[in-house]
Amino acid sequence: MILGIHGHPKESGTGFALLEEALSSARDKGAETKLVRVADYPAAGCVACDACAAGTGCRIHDPMWDVYPLLARCEGLIVSTPVFFGGPPSELKAWIDRCNPFWKDRKTLPRNERPRRPGALIVTAGSSRVTTFLGVVESMRAFFCTLDVDFSAQLLVSGLDHKPGPHPTPEHREQARGLGSKVAELRNGAPFAAELSWWDHPADK
């Protein structure tokens, strides 16, 4: 399954339309897809308690526990996010920070290493500044690295505050479809034999 994450607090918009195009293209290539909205799974921020070092996941009980299995098992990942003050929206950033249990798995324990998976990023921004996308891209690189996901493709759409509509443009839609096709073609169907699937046991916390 290729997982699509819509990182905007709103349910629709340019980024959402581009994500739908990407996932549609992935399905055309034979991939199963699932789209989730960050707004539907509100997560508290990481409190740096380091309880995840014990190998049983995060001690905070909230909807993030519904997201962990999707992140663990997807064969590919596509994230769509706007730029909010130089970075991703706070809701999405909370998801990223709460993935520290996966980092502990890989770097501290280490265990649960899986075949590399393709990942792609779609970013929309009102501004056209040269540095507009830096904060988001770096956050996403860290997110992908934590999940053993390769940064395989990106689509950066800037200047939306000043360009006449409609958005997205046909060109951007076509680029999004190419991005989705690439993730589908690169996905690795090798089985993931987890040594301890803590993401399936939130009651153990």
Residue-wise pLDDT tens digits, 134-160: 999 999 999 999 999 999 999 999 988
pLDDT at 130 over 90: no
Q: Which residues of 131-160 are buried (b: 16+ CB within 10 A; e: fewer)?
A: ebbeebbebbeebbebbbbbebbbbebbeb
pLDDT at 164 over 70: yes
Domains of the chain, residue spans:
2-199
More confident residue, 12 or 140: 140
Q: Please give the pLDDT value at position 189.
A: 78
In the predicted model, what is the mean pLDDT of the chain? 93
Architecture of domain 2-199: 3-Layer(aba) Sandwich (3.40)
pTM: predicted TM-score of the whole model, two decimal places: 0.94
Residue 60 CB partners (closer than 8 Å, separation 6+):
43, 44, 47, 98
